[in-house]
A and B are shown apart, each in its own frame.
Chain A
Amino acid sequence: KNEVEQSPQNLTAQEGEFITINCSYSVGISALHWLQQHPGGGIVSLFMLSSGKKKHGRLIATINIQEKHSSLHITASHPRDSAVYICAVRDGATNKLIFGTGTLLAVQP
Chain B
Amino acid sequence: DAGVIQSPRHEVTEMGQEVTLRCKPISGHDYLFWYRQTMMRGLELLIYFNNNVPIDDSGMPEDRFSAKMPNASFSTLKIQPSEPRDSAVYFCASSLGAGGVTDTQYFGPGTRLTVL
Contact = CB atoms under 8 A, between A and B. Distances in A.
Contact of A95 (B99, B107, B109): B99
Contact of B99 (A30, A42, A100): A30
Interface stretch (A12-20, A43-51, A55-63): A43-51
A65 interface: no
- Please classify the interface of chain B as helix (H, G, I), strand (E, B), loop, or mixed, using the class held by over half of its residues: strand
Contacts of A101: 42
Interface residues of B, number: 20
Interface in A1-40: 30-31, 33, 35
B104 A45 contact: yes
B60 interface: no
B103 A99 contact: no
Given A42-B107, A88-B43, 18 more contacts: A30-B99, A31-B99, A31-B103, A41-B110, A41-B112, A42-B109, A42-B110, A43-B93, A45-B104, A45-B105, A45-B107, A48-B101, A48-B104, A86-B42, A86-B43, A90-B103, A95-B98, A96-B45
25 contacts: A30-B99, A31-B103, A35-B107, A41-B89, A41-B110, A41-B112, A42-B107, A42-B109, A42-B110, A43-B107, A45-B105, A45-B106, A86-B42, A86-B43, A88-B43, A90-B99, A94-B56, A95-B98, A96-B45, A96-B56, A96-B59, A99-B42, A99-B43, A99-B44, A100-B42
